[in-house]
Amino acid sequence: MVHKTLKYIVSLILVLLISTATWAQDIHFSQFYAAPMVLNPAETGNFDADWRFSNIYRNQWRSIDVPYQTISVGFDRQFFLFTERFSGGIDIVYDHSVDAALTVNKIYISLAYHKKIKENNFHFGIQGGPVLKAYNIDNLTFPSQWDRNSGSFNSSLPNNVANNNDNLAYADINAGVIWSRNFGRIKPHIGYSAYHINYPKESFLETENKLPLRNVAHISALVNINETIFVRPHILYMGHKKATDLILGTNLGMNLPTNPLSIQKAFVGGYFRNDFNFNADATYFVVGLGFKHLEFGLSYDVNISTLKSATSGRGAFEVSVIYKSASTILNKLTVPCNRY
């Protein structure tokens, strides 16, 4: 009876660990637009250059002993089959959380197809790859390890946990689509992506727990107020079973004149994160600089939810870097003809 009770306790702990890691790992970047292949597989190759390198690092809840850390590193490039434009890429995501008790590694291979029909740009993408999860049971404590003599948990005592695996692996498949168009001063960008479309089995125990579908919708636009000032509003919605996330905000930027540092643009932004029922979670601020091929972003989250008493209002620090090569893709075609 005791072992059965402990098994249910362990199951609950592991489910909470998986849920926390999945939410943070899959989508929980404040600068979500700076992790393109994490946001939407159709973003693979959706840029004006031959290739792109993207990197984003998130450090969350530094008020606890070991903060949550999430890293995404991606590389994608263009290629053509006859006259059709395709793109391929790889994105690697690493996350550790809960005092490093749970680690998650994801390696996704992405493929996208890009098609322009009249003035409309359509992008279709799919990605898939292995997901590896593991936890260190030595970093966890269980009821049987409560030491009544010291009044605290003692990890040297037996945990009485049996029939559990400390790692798992499964294949994950995601897909997405994007529409965009150039209306002159306004360039809208609308996308939808679905994650875990193969409903992979995910459990450290001998159960048939399947990862539910995660839906992501994102809307943004580049609005050029004039030749110098621009704004880029963003809306992001994510739904994973009963969990939802809604982000609203905008970046305000300025195209800079020639300067010794070769900085071409600078921007600042403010965002608000809550769930779909408008329960406040955090507000955060973004600053960034853009060079000819390089863009750098920095953001900081301020926790405004009921959790702020435990985190002292501190949320997450995030830094992003995107490098794009020069483009050799011809946007205009000149056909020679005889003169008369």
Model confidence over 291-302: pLDDT tens digits? 999 999 999 998
- pLDDT for 17 beyond 60: no
Pick the range with the lowest mean pLDDT from 53-57, 271-275, 283-287: 271-275
- Boundaries of every domain in the chain: 2-324
What share of the chain in percent tops pLDDT 90?
57
Higher-confidence residue of 203 and 335: namely 203
- pLDDT for 120 beyond 80: yes
2-324 topology per CATH: Porin (2.40.160)
pLDDT band at 24 (very low <50, low <70, confident <90, very high): very low
Tens of pLDDT, residue by residue over 91-115, are 999 998 766 578 899 999 999 999 9
Task: Look at residue 18 in the predicted model and tell me its pLDDT.
Answer: 37
Higher-confidence residue of 2 and 229: namely 229
The listed range with the strongest mean pLDDT (12-16, 33-37, 99-103) is 33-37
Q: What is the 3-state secondary structure (H, E, C) of the chain?
A: CHHHHHHHHHHHHHHHHHHHHHHHHHHCCCCHHHCHHHHCHHHCCCCCCCEEEEEEEEEECCCCCCCEEEEEEEEEEEEEECCEEEEEEEEEEEEEECCCCEEEEEEEEEEEEEEEECCEEEEEEEEEEEEEEEECHHHCCCHHHEECCCCEECCCCCCCCCCCCCEEEEEEEEEEEEEEECCCCEEEEEEEEEECCCCCECCCCCCCCECCCEEEEEEEEEEECCCCEEEEEEEEEEEECCEEEEEEEEEEEEECCCCCCCCCEEEEEEEEEECCCCCEEEEEEEEEEECCCEEEEEEEEEECCCCHHHHCCEEEEEEEEEEECCCCCCCCCCCCCCCC
